[in-house]
């Protein structure tokens, strides 16, 4: 299960959800467990890569030999990821919040009217920014969480964000996806695609690294 070597390569991996604070006691989050990204970081380190793992709030142990940077919000994740460049590859496995509260209330918001409207603003798109960065890694890999028209949306993200590979979660496959130990992915690149799994995320991580290595320019 060890696969081809990544000795001498530097990888930056993002994993987990981001939490966007509303006030000191509340936040907007999502169900990402971080398991896929942590499995990729662990598998890459086992193959000899130097790995920086930028982790959102998750309950997972740091894989052996991995340098971990803990963050909370999308904005913090962006700072940590961009700060970790240059790298040979970026793998964006995090479920980054698309919107965050326009401002964080300094005190706990008190219950008042029947309705409460929160103003949300777009977060930075970390994956697109890494792909457009002057220190762009040789390979930029994204994930795509889709519930329908998986190939259409995944290929759209591949083009729009100018990334090299997109791993789309095949949601709807029994027992796979967020919060699960198993997953099923379809990986798309400009002129190809490959279905991986359903399989444990640890096994998928190795298969994904093999695909990444196969696409590495000589």
Nearest distance from C-beta of residue 98 to Ca ion, angstroms: 4
Residue 94 contact, options ligand CTP, Ca ion, none, Cβ 5-8 Å cut-off depending on partner type: ligand CTP
Please select the residue that binds Ca ion; options are 79, 98, 146, 151, rule is CB under 5 A.
98
Is 126 a binding residue for ligand CTP by CB under 6 A? The answer is: yes
Is 143 a binding residue for ligand CTP by CB under 6 A? The answer is: yes
CB of 65 or CB of 82, closer to ligand CTP: 82
CB of 12 or CB of 96, closer to ligand CTP: 96
Q: Where are the alpha helices (DSSP H) in 13-167?
A: 35-46, 74-83, 126-131, 150-160
Nearest distance from C-beta of residue 99 to ligand CTP, angstroms: 9
CB of 65 or CB of 68, closer to ligand CTP: 68
CB of 11 or CB of 126, closer to ligand CTP: 126
Is 88 a binding residue for Ca ion by CB under 5 A? The answer is: no
For the CA atoms of the chain, what is the radius of gyration?
17
64-95: b (≥16 Cβ within 10 Å) or e? eebebbebbbbbbbbbbbeebbebbbbbbbbb
Is 146 a binding residue for Ca ion by CB under 5 A? The answer is: no
Strands 10-15 and 89-92: parallel
State yes or no: is 183 an active-site residue. Answer: no
Q: Which range of residues in 29-37, 138-146, 186-194, 204-212 is near ligand CTP by CB under 6 A?
A: 138-146
Q: Which 59-98 residues touch ligand CTP, going by CB under 6 A?
A: 74, 92, 94, 96, 98
Please select the residue that binds ligand CTP; options are 45, 52, 84, 144, rule is CB under 6 A.
144
181-191: b (≥16 Cβ within 10 Å) or e? ebbbbbbbbee
Nearest CA among 58, 49, 59, 47 for reference residue 12: 49
Nearest CA among 46, 13, 40 for reference residue 137: 13
Please report, for residues 87, 111, 146, 159, the alpha-carbon distance to residue 8 in angstroms, rounded to integers and kept in the order given: 11, 55, 34, 29
Q: Which residues are catalytic?
A: 30
Interface with Ca ion by CB under 5 A: which residues?
Answer: 98
């Amino acid at each position: 299960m060890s696969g081809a070597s990544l000795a001498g390569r530097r990888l930056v991996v993002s994993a987990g959800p981001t939490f966007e604070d509303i006030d000191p006691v509340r936040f907007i989050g999502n169900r990402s467990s971080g398991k896929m990204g942590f499995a990729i970081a662990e598998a890459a380190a086992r193959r000899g890569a130097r790995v920086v793992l930028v982790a959102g709030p998750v309950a997972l142990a740091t894989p052996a030999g991995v340098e971990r940077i803990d963050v909370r919000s999308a904005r913090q994740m962006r700072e940590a990821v961009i700060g970790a460049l240059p790298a040979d590859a970026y793998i964006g496995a995090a479920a980054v919040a698309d919107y965050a509260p326009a401002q964080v209330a300094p005190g706990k918001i008190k219950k008042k009217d029947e309705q409460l409207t929160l103003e949300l603003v777009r977060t930075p798109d970390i994956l697109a920014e890494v792909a457009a960065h002057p220190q762009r890694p040789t390979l930029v890999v994204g994930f795509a969480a889709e519930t329908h028209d998986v190939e259409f949306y995944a290929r759209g993200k591949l083009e729009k964000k100018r990334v090299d590979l997109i791993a789309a979660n095949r949601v709807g496959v029994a027992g796979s996806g967020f919060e699960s130990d198993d997953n099923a992915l379809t990986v798309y690149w400009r002129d190809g695609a490959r279905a991986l799994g359903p399989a444990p995320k640890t096994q998928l991580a190795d298969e994904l690294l093999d695909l990444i290595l196969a696409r590495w320019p000589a």
